[in-house]
């Protein structure tokens, strides 16, 4: 219980930071690429008058058929499962860009977690293995060419644990950029190996 209270207290303290920044800098609009951030900021800034938009409704991706009909299975992120805003926008834009979207057995509101949610990897790695293997089987059943996500945590999880299939962020496909996620977690780990690494870790974990 103490751990839960501490985490909740930390979240409560940090929730005031975006509101303070928005107020101090007179920000009127926020453009967000992360679904978790989008929904959290929506709650934190409710009533502030700040407009929050997704990157998918702001950027001009064009409507040209830039691709050859490759089949994309879209993995929906946990924060977006209920509202489905990001999932709907991503699927529409992929279709407009010439991709064919196909659905896995569990999709949209019924999507299973990639295993990153709630730091599950640290507490139940065995369950993460099961979730990823199930997702792998569902992907193969669709005969899709690409597993596309719109949450970076999901993309990194599948890229690391499913090396046999093409995994990418939807923005890479829409912007025609080659994905390169090699060494991302290693670079993050090295941040805490610097001379001030222990202090950085204490700040991250502080209540």
Boundaries of CATH 3.40.50.1860 in the chain?
71-174
Provide the pLDDT confidence category of residue 6 given band limits of 50, 70 and 90. low
Question: Which pLDDT score, from 0 to 100, does residue 3 have?
Answer: 43
List the CATH code of the domain at 71-174.
3.40.50.1860
For 9-52, the pLDDT digits (tens) are: 555 666 667 888 888 889 999 999 999 999 999 999 998 899 99
For 54-92, the pLDDT digits (tens) are: 999 999 887 666 667 899 999 999 999 999 999 999 999
Q: What is the mean pLDDT of residues 102-115?
A: 95
Where is pLDDT greater, at 20 or 142? 142
Mean of the per-residue pLDDT values of the chain = 86
For 151-206, the pLDDT digits (tens) are: 999 999 999 999 999 999 999 999 988 888 776 767 767 777 778 777 776 776 66
* Percent of the chain clearing pLDDT 90 (strictly above): 61
* Percent of the chain clearing pLDDT 70 (strictly above): 85
Nearest Cα residue to 149 out of 184, 174, 182, 121: 174
Question: Which pLDDT score, from 0 to 100, does residue 17 have?
Answer: 79
């Amino acid at each position: 219980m103490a751990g839960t209270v501490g985490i909740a207290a930390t979240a409560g303290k940090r929730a005031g930071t975006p509101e303070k920044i928005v107020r101090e800098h007179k920000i009127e609009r926020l453009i967000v690429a992360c679904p978790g951030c989008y929904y959290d900021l929506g709650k934190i800034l409710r009533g502030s008058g700040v407009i929050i938009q997704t990157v998918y409704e702001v950027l001009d991706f064009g409507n040209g058929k830039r691709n050859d009909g490759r089949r994309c299975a879209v993995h929906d992120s946990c924060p977006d499962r209920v509202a489905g805003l990001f999932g709907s926008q991503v699927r529409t834009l992929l279709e407009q860009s010439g991709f064919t979207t196909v659905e896995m057995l569990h999709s949209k509101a019924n999507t299973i977690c990639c295993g990153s949610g709630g730091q599950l990897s640290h507490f139940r790695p065995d369950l993460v293995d099961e979730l990823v293997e199930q997702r792998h089987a569902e992907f193969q059943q669709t005969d899709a060419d690409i597993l596309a996500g719109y949450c970076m945590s999901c993309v990194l999880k599948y890229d690391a644990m499913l090396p046999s299939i093409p995994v990418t962020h939807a923005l890479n496909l829409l912007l025609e950029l080659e994905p390169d996620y090699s060494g991302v977690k290693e670079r993050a780990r090295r941040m805490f190996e610097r001379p001030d690494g222990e202090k950085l870790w204490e700040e991250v974990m502080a209540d």
